[in-house]
Structure 1
Amino acid sequence: MGYFEGFDVAGFWEDSPVARDEYAEMTPPAPEVIASVEEELGGYRLPGSYVELMGVRNGGVPVRVRFPMSEPTSWAGDHLVINGIMGIGRTRPCSLGGEFGSRFWIEEWEYPDIGVYFADTPSAGHDMLALDYRACGAGGEPVVVHVDQENDFAITFAAESFEAFARGLESTAFGL
């Protein structure tokens, strides 16, 4: 498919109990699982780059968790940090169809229904990252945005694609 060319996808993921127990589905997503999760998420087609990365490891905690931002957010003036990226499935609490998956944030926390919430932050739900389909429609290529519950659900652009977001993650000093 041509995603992540020249990128170390095998070295992208951290191996930790939190990654295994909360985010990572046990197997790569089968086509029928992808289709049923997409339907459950409101018919949003997951980006090919997301599906390809989940084929290497289906969710988890990246080794690099800091993402530089050009606009300030409630998190910081120049970056944000993620806890993990949700796998495609339903067996882990923090997978797309899990107990704390994308629909949970829309239905329980009243996050705007703009697409798919795929990554959380250390704020314990007070800000999330989403694949934003407002401009492209449910079958298009979404941008990545930061959504801030504490600031009236303010939406801030983060990256032009999921692949750009994953490639843009950086190492952190002291986890921040």
Structure 2
Amino acid sequence: MTQPFEDFDLSDFWDDSEFARKEYLDEPLTDSLLSSVQTQLGYKLPSAYVALMRQQNGGMPIRREHRVASPTSWANDHIAITGIFGIGCTKGSLASSMGNQFWIDDWDYPPIGIYFCDCPSAGHDMLCLDYRECGPEGKPRVVHVDEAFDYRITMVAQNFETFVKGLTSEFSSAEHEK
């Protein structure tokens, strides 16, 4: 069995800016913290997500765009992200007061899995690990949920590792305007 990201260089994945560290970086991930957060969320996190968070527990990727097959409120052919939430209970981490449950309870996002990644729209679209087809112990897809389009769900990637490998910086920031 292969290890997540064994054929992918993550050495230049994270933006090391002060803002990224302040807003997204959580304490180093421990087995105890992982177990506690997964219990609180009610889902098993993908091994690739855990592997990435063991490298750095939350942050802003350098490449923050991903191609999609159908239009979203951001662009006709791609989405943009801001940061990936760490596995923890502080800052904007998955189990914090501004984490997964916040998006479901306060923003009415559908309870289909784990909201793990925010977008530049300040809450009007999010990325989610979608467990509807695989169940809480399975391997979720990555989907974009668009509040601006009545919470329309758009497929982004078959799994988290494929999502990370598909992040790019090929689109200009002005291109998102329709």
TM-score range (shorter-chain normalised) is: over 0.9
Find the counterpart in structure 2 of residue 10 from structure 1. 11
TM-score, length-scaled by structure 1: 0.94
* Deviation by residue 1:122-168 (Cα, 9 ceiling, x = unmatched): 10100000000000000000000000111111111110000000000
State the one-letter code of the partner of 1:156. T
CA distance in 1, matches of 2:36, 2:155: 28
TM-score, length-scaled by structure 2: 0.93
Find the counterpart in structure 2 of residue 121 from structure 1. 119
Find the counterpart in structure 2 of residue 140 from structure 1. 138
CA distance in 2, matches of 1:79, 1:174: 11
Please give the root-mean-square deviation of Cα atoms over the aligned residues, in Å. 1.2
CA distance in 1, matches of 2:171, 2:114: 29
Q: In percent, how many aligned pairs have the same letter?
A: 50
- Compute the displacement of 1:6 (Å): 2.1
Whether contact under 8 Å (1:23, 1:61) holds in the other structure is: yes
Unaligned 5+ segments in structure 2 are none
Q: How does 1:1-40 map to 2 (within 5 A)?
A: 2-27=3-28, 29-40=29-40
How many corresponding residue pairs?
173
What is the aligned counterpart of 1:110 among 91, 102, 108? Answer: 108
Whether contact under 8 Å (1:65, 1:172) holds in the other structure is: no
CA distance in 2, matches of 1:175, 1:18: 19
Whether contact under 8 Å (2:24, 2:83) holds in the other structure is: yes
Whether contact under 8 Å (1:10, 1:56) holds in the other structure is: no
Unaligned 5+ segments in structure 1 are none
Q: How does 1:46-85 map to 2 (within 5 A)?
A: 46-85=45-84
Q: 1:80 to 1:167 in 2, by over 3 A?
A: same
Whether contact under 8 Å (2:65, 2:171) holds in the other structure is: no
CA distance in 1, matches of 2:131, 2:27: 28
